């Protein structure tokens, strides 16, 4: 099939590239000319394992191309995806201005019947607005092309997005046009050939499914973090509690790992957007608000532990921070817990030496730009050298089994704060470390 993908952010670029990989002809459109030029030359603006090679291969074989002209892209397209950003507004709602602008432009430039797909994460009712914008633009130019709007929410995990797309748990399509639904089924057939996981439903239910899925996962995280905070106070070990409850098949082990809070572009935004939708319709979403409140507090837990150990005034102290991205296998720092920690430490006068396998450039050029108390190391051990303590924030694989004997030599004080419960107290205490994980009472200091 011939597809147009509007937006070359995380969702648009991964989706367009994976469709091209299966033999479709995909044109990705973006208004950022510098980004388009870079993509044509193999410069990938995000880090996602396997994406760079896949983009280059499909550009080379002609299945994937990039342009700034939506008008040109639409001339041959059968399906157009809207995959632009929906940033969070000040009131927590999703900002639809970019989605609706694309809808108007589709109406201005379409020259044939189209299936228009909402791929961006959007509130319930957005498809109706997209349909109205396209219809108004067609009417303004005196054109009468048929079109159908469908909802196709994405369920990609950063760091595993290509595998998620190529082997999906499910493909959710919301449509009120049977022909459009069948077109989408045919498009996704190669991805669900062995296991048919295609789920058709009405449009509003599909729009709601995306928000409900992310809110549910965020709820599990915040619930477990709340349990962890209770465990610390009553003398229980949350790691053992996790095993005890996860063995129940009704609960399972996914998303019940305690830590220092969730971040990224999805969970924080989607929880708040769903909450705002509820309020707009006269319902107070008490659980969603609690999920958000717990998460905001949880991001402060590591800083609180540091202050408890070293005091409120951290002037003259240096802390090694392992991990800047909000999760492993990505360079995405949006809403990352490391940002809250570093702001707390440097706000108290401390210096931070940070190391992350992929996110240092993002930190240096954007998120921590101008913070003169932050410097960056080339390796995890360089970050630790001479530091007063090590703080683990992101659970990259290279942090899972480090040389603790070497760390003991490099640290000024043998103190580790573990925001993802990656290590074992039984391993560290015999080496003379103070170990401060999440959800476990502090051991007595030697």
Question: Which residues are part of the catalytic machinery?
Answer: 266
Task: Look at the alpha carbons of 12, 18, 19, 20 in this order and tell me if their dihedral is positive or negative.
Answer: positive
Query: Measured on CA atoms in the order 19, 21, 24, 25, is the torsion positive or negative?
Result: positive
Gap between the Cα atoms of 200 and 126, Å rounded: 18
Tokens of 424: 């074992």
H or E element that contains 418:
strand 415-418
φ and ψ of 58, to 5 deg = -80, -30
Instruction: Convert 167-205 into a string of H (helix), E (strand) and C (coil).
Output: CCCCEEEECCCHHHHHHHHHHHHHHCCCCCCEEEECHHH
DSSP labels for 5-23? Answer: EE--SHHHHHHHHHHHHTT
343, 319 contact by CB (below 8 A): no
Which of 158, 157, 192 has the alpha carbon at shortest distance from 173?
A: 192
| Antiparallel, parallel or unpaired: β 25-29 and 64-67 | parallel
Per this entry, what is the length of the chain?
Answer: 446
DSSP state of 374: E
- Could you tell me if 204 and 414 are in contact, meaning their C-beta atoms sit under 8 angstroms apart? no
> Concatenated DSSP letters for 304-327?
HHHHHHH-S--TT-EEEEE--SSS
Distance of alpha carbon 76 from alpha carbon 72, whole angstroms:
8
């Amino acid at each position: 099939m011939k597809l147009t993908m509007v937006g070359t952010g995380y969702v648009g670029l991964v989706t367009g590239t994976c469709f091209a990989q299966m033999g479709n002809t995909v044109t990705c459109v973006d208004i950022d000319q510098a980004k388009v030029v870079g993509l044509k030359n193999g410069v990938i603006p995000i880090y996602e394992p396997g994406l760079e090679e896949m983009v280059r291969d499909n550009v080379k074989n002609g299945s994937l191309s990039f342009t700034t002209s939506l008008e040109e892209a639409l001339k041959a397209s059968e399906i157009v995806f809207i995959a632009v950003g929906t940033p969070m507004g000040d009131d927590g709602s999703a900002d639809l201005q970019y989605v609706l602008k694309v809808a108007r432009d589709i109406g201005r430039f379409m020259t044939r019947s189209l299936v228009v797909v909402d791929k961006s994460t959007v509130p319930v009712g957005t498809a109706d607005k997209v349909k109205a914008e396209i219809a108004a633009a067609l009417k303004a130019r005196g054109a009468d092309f048929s079109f159908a709007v469908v909802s196709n929410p994405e369920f990609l995990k950063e760091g595993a997005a290509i595998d998620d797309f190529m082997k999906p748990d499910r493909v959710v399509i919301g449509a009120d046009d049977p022909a459009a639904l069948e077109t989408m089924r045919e498009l996704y057939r190669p991805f669900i050939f062995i296991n048919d996981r295609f789920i058709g439903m009405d449009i509003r239910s599909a729009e709601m499914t995306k928000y409900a899925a992310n809110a549910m996962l965020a709820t599990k995280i915040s619930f477990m973090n709340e349990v962890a905070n209770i465990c610390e106070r009553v003398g229980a070990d949350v790691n053992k509690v996790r095993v005890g409850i996860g063995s129940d098949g009704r609960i399972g082990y996914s998303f019940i790992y305690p830590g220092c809070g969730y971040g990224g572009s999805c969970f924080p935004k989607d929880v708040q957007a769903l909450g705002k939708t509820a309020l707009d319709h006269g319902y107070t979403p008490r659980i969603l608000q609690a999920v958000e409140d717990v998460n905001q507090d949880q991001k402060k837990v590591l800083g609180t532990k540091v202050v408890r150990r070293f005091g409120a005034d951290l002037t003259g102290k240096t802390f090694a921070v392992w991990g800047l991205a909000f999760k492993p296998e990505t360079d995405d720092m949006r809403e990352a817990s490391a940002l809250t920690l570093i702001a707390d430490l440097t706000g108290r006068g401390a210096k931070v030496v940070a190391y992350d396998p992929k996110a240092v450039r993002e930190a240096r050029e954007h998120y921590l730009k101008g913070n003169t108390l932050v410097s960056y190391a080339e390796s995890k051990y360089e970050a630790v050298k001479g530091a007063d303590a090590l703080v683990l924030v992101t659970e990259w694989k290279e942090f899972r089994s480090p040389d603790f004997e070497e760390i003991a030599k490099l640290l000024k004080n043998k103190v580790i704060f573990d925001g993802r419960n990656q290590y074992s107290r039984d391993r560290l205490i015999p080496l003379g470390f103070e170990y401060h994980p999440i959800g476990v009472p502090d051991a007595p200091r030697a």
